Amino acid sequence: FVPALCPACGWDLKGERDSLVLLCANCHTAWKASLAGLQPVLASVFAPEDKQDILQIPFWRLQVEIDGLEINSYADLVRQANLPKMIDPAWNERPASFWVPAFKIQPRLFLRLAKNMTIIQPSEEPECHIDASSFYPVTMTANEASESLAVLLATMIMPRQRIFPLLPHLHITLHDARLMFWPFKLQGPDIIEPHGGMALNRNALRWGRSI
């Protein structure tokens, strides 16, 4: 970690040595390094449901245009993935987004996290702020994360034989990226996503930092 001061308030920024994003718990902002100095990063934090120990895990919420596949709304995503959900008419007005880990981890776990979080993505915007909680470091840029979307689509769209012929012809354009911190519960050797119940061993996180 290289000590740095928040450009907005002068407070000490926090972040680990390998983190691409530094956080200010005083004015609740996030920053990334660039040739022009520290630049702001759009970031949001979801509050935990209870007082259990948590680790805020970073994801990029990506909004993209997919040339070759009709996924413009969350309803389109549910239909294309053939998810067992009754489609709410409001979902037709809700933009489709993909939640992709903002950190490196073993590829199978990366895709599993991306698929699960894309499916359960909340519709509301979080009201919590960057604070003194424990935040897992951001080690992947939004552009890097977006490069995984074709593979993610291949794991999500059903039936698979329908998506595979389309993959070489898909053109994906990134329009918007926002950093979203999602609270996972600390439970023994694992961290647990509280809504879907996905468990992730902490060793997998540690090994991912050497990728």
Which parts of the chain sit beneath pLDDT 70? 1-3
The pLDDT assigned to 128 comes to 81
Q: What pLDDT is attached to residue 1?
A: 47
Q: What is the pLDDT of residue 123?
A: 80
The confidence score (pLDDT) of residue 48 equals: 87
> How far apart are the C-alpha atoms of 5 and 14, rounded to whole Å?
9
Q: What is the DSSP string of the chain?
A: ----B-TTT-PBPB--TT-SEEEETTTTEEEEEETTEEEEE-EEEPPPSSSS-EEEEEEEEEEEEEETS---BHHHHHHHTT-S-PPPGGGGGSBP-EEEESS---HHHHHHHHHHHHHH--SSPP-B---SS-BPPP-S-HHHHHTTHHHHHHHHSSSHHHHGGGGGG-EEEEEEEEEEEEEEEEETTEEE-TTT--EEEHHHHHHHTT-
Cα(first)–Cα(last) distance of the chain, in Å? Answer: 18
| C-beta of residue 56 within 8 angstroms of C-beta of residue 134 | yes
CA distances from 11 to 28, 46, 90 (A): 10, 23, 41
- Tokens coding 63: 């909004």
Would you state the pLDDT for residue 3?
Answer: 60
